[in-house]
Amino acid sequence: MDATHNPEFTSIEFYWAYKTYKDLIEITKEYFKYLFDHLNLPTQLPYGDLEVDFSRFSEVPLIESLYTIGNVPQEIVNDKDKIITFLKSRNIQIKNDLSLGQLQGELFDEFVEAKLINPTFITEYPVDISPLARRSDKNPEITERFELFIAGREIANAFSELNDPVDQYERFKAQVESKESGDDEAHEMDLDFVEALSYGMAPTAGQGIGIDRLVMLLTNEHSIRDVLLFPAMKPIHTEEKNQQEEE
């Protein structure tokens, strides 16, 4: 639990057969236009000290965002050893066994995410950090995926669904290895899902939108507990202990 996470939350999740993540980008723009029209909201809204312009949606591939937005030297973003040296030079602690894609994700988290104020679709995520997304036909090292960021915060996650059972099985195996190495966010093996894919799945795109974070954004609230009816609360003794440690 923290200012943007709660064990129970509200989301919209949907799947669209015979469509790709590009179609989801367009429908997401339509969703926001519909939302603002029906709530009679101005396209520019304050969020804390920020001013968010909802009339300005942009798309940037993740790797490109590292040097165009995050000011990471372009010559290092595709070199594992150089990324490790760069992160360590800035006193950023990382695990020793991260893949290139995972390191690129670390660069994004550290140097790009907080700078994404106006609505920005970050696209083309590395395969290593997108275990359920379809590979790009142009570049098998990246996926047909995007995350929507607003005011420095992730609001939506979407991708063309991976429907190749062999590829999915290999991805799950890699996730299991990552989990055994200490990655708490890695997926478990799901053989039932792999078997279901083997019977055949139509090309499909899927998306999830965090409603609580969206409400926070539209109402200028900075704690998810302020927009939930029954937020999970830390035990009193835990709060007291944290205060004592801070003192």
Question: Max CA-CA distance within the chain?
Answer: 59
Identify whether 235 is part of a domain: no
Identify whether 17 is part of a domain: yes
User: In the prediction, which pLDDT does 1 show?
Assistant: 72
Identify whether 170 is part of a domain: no
Identify whether 146 is part of a domain: yes
Three-state SS for 216?
helix
pLDDT classification of 12: cutoffs 50, 70, 90: very high
Residues 208 and 11 sit within 8 Å (Cβ to Cβ): yes
Mean pLDDT (whole number) for 117-124:
98
The DSSP bridge partners found for residue 150 are: 153
Distance of CA 113 to the CA centre of its chain: 10
Cα gap 163→133, rounded to integer Å: 9
Span 122-156, pLDDT tens digits:
999 999 999 889 999 999 999 999 999 999 999 99
Mean pLDDT (whole number) for 207-223:
93
Q: What is the DSSP letter of 128?
A: G
User: In the prediction, which pLDDT does 238 show?
Assistant: 60
Q: Mean pLDDT of all residues in the chain?
A: 91
Both tokens of 163, joined, read 């429907």
Contacts of 150 (CB under 8 A, 6+ apart): 52, 116, 117, 118, 119, 120, 217
Identify whether 128 is part of a domain: yes
Distance of CA 16 to the CA centre of its chain: 20
Q: Would the pLDDT of 244 be above 90?
A: no
Cα gap 108→87, rounded to integer Å: 12
Range(s) of the domain holding residue 66: 11-163+202-229
Cα gap 192→41, rounded to integer Å: 45
Identify whether 168 is part of a domain: no
User: In the prediction, which pLDDT does 245 show?
Assistant: 64
Q: Would the pLDDT of 233 be above 80?
A: no
State which amino acid sits at residue 183: D
Q: With DSSP H G I counted as helix, E B as strand and the rest as coil, what are the percentages for the chain, rounded to 5?
A: 40, 20, 35
Q: What percent of the chain has pLDDT over 90?
A: 71
Tell me how crowded residue 224 is: count the other CB atoms within 10 A of its CB: 21
Query: Which one has a higher pLDDT value, 66 or 236?
Result: 66
User: In the prediction, which pLDDT does 2 show?
Assistant: 76
User: In the prediction, which pLDDT does 204 show?
Assistant: 96
User: In the prediction, which pLDDT does 67 show?
Assistant: 97
Cα gap 57→4, rounded to integer Å: 22
* Beta-strand pair 153-160/58-61: unpaired
Identify whether 84 is part of a domain: yes
Identify whether 103 is part of a domain: yes
Number of domains observed in the structure of the chain: 1
Which CATH number fits the domain that encloses residue 94? 3.30.930.10
